[in-house]
Amino acid sequence: MSETVLITGASGFLGYHLILAALEKNLVVYAAVRKNSKVDHLKDLPVNYVFPDYNDIDKLAEILKENNIRYIIHAAGVTKAVKQRHYDDINAVNSVQLGKAAERLKCSLKKMVFISSLAAVGPAASLTEIITEETDPKPVTAYGRSKLLAERELKKLNIPLTILRPTAVYGPRDKDIFILLKTVSGGLDPYMGKIIQQLSFVHAADVADVAVLALLSVANDTYNISDGQCYGRYEFANLAKEILTRKAFRFHIPMPLIKVLAYFLETTNRWMNKPAIINREKLHELVAANWCCDINKAKRELNFNPKFSLKEGLEDSIKWYRKNNMLK
């Protein structure tokens, strides 16, 4: 009999890839979604739906027990919010509530995998350093701080736990990096200021694969996840232009102007109680000099072997966007 996995955030971009990876390993998938979540893209997949209330540990434990959940991949969370407490409530408190519910299962839970973020560590201090699992965490955004808080609180629980810290995740169905591809496709290649940057990326399918590998491993630790490469700040656009066969005008927007725009968006959106696409704090992540990370620990202990380089991943993503009439 196949064993069961609960995947939270299942209606989202990464959740879709997690479901595919779990099904590939013949796991019975329970997709945790909100009752108003859009799940049309999952209709042809053999998944079961549950609707967790993270405010009620008893009900969470009941869901886990009634469905004989043996594994959990917790990917639910928010990347944009108005205040720190909103990030903390959803990314940290909800994660701990689920962890506490799992703790009640005692020996029946085999593993919980928490999808954190490299933002929980923050960027490397210089261009010559590389982020490892031993790097002292210094997150530079509310999002990163909420993920770090979740990690620390989950570690206090008596559950088998693996924490994954993926860098910038992209792939089919993603909306954020799609905006960059759409911009390049439209003939523009903009940058914030004139700085040297080292960036890292990981395809969603690789994150999903390593999450399932972590479920089935005996390792209970924290792992950085990327495709194993470091990229200059222009490489993403250069590869996108090559694959799209487009020319794009490269230009640099002065940082003082960017900061004014971020302040304006932050202020106006606060009045409307909506998160801004860019705020002054988010700039610390976007213009950080170095997001390169070492994944040797994940390779060694989880048998992680990324399938997609950035070029291969962009080819895969652009093919999907074109097939779905989102790019020409």
Would residue 273 count as lying in a domain?
no
In angstroms, the CA 147 to CA 77 distance is: 9
The pLDDT tens digits for 63-120 are: 999 999 999 999 999 888 888 889 999 999 999 999 999 999 877 899 999 999 999 9
Would residue 55 count as lying in a domain?
yes
Would residue 263 count as lying in a domain?
no
pTM: 0.94
Would residue 285 count as lying in a domain?
no
160 CB burial (10 A radius; 0-12, 13-18, 19+): middle
pLDDT greater than 90 at residue 243: yes
Q: Which of 103-117, 238-252, 269-283 shows the lowest mean pLDDT across its residues?
A: 269-283
- The pLDDT of residue 275: 73
pLDDT greater than 60 at residue 1: no
Once rounded to an integer, what is the mean pLDDT over residues 167-184? Answer: 93
The pLDDT tens digits for 19-65 are: 999 999 999 999 999 988 888 899 999 999 999 999 999 999 999 99
Q: Which of 88, 113, 219 is nearest to 166 (CA)?
A: 113
Which domain range does residue 88 map to? 4-174+201-229+292-308
199 has which bridge partners?
A: 231
SS3 47: strand
Would residue 262 count as lying in a domain?
no
- The pLDDT of residue 282: 83
305: confidence class by pLDDT, cuts 50, 70, 90 = very high
> Residue 324 corresponds to which tokens in the numbers above?
């779905």
In angstroms, the CA 232 to CA 217 distance is: 34
CATH number at residue 161: 3.40.50.720
Would residue 194 count as lying in a domain?
no
Q: How many CB atoms lie within 10 A of CB 148?
A: 22
- Residue with token string 């079961």: 48
Q: Which of 143, 137, 139 is nearest to 83 (CA)?
A: 143
Would residue 315 count as lying in a domain?
no
Q: How many CB atoms lie within 10 A of CB 209?
A: 23
In angstroms, the CA 29 to CA 10 distance is: 10
Would residue 134 count as lying in a domain?
yes
**What is the count of structural domains for the chain?**
1
Amino acid identity of 4? T
Q: How many CB atoms lie within 10 A of CB 204?
A: 26
First to last CA, the chain: 45
* DSSP calls for 143-212: HHHHHHHHHHHHTTSSS-EEEEEE-EEE-TT-SHHHHHHHHHHTTEEEEESS---EE-EEEHHHHHHHHH
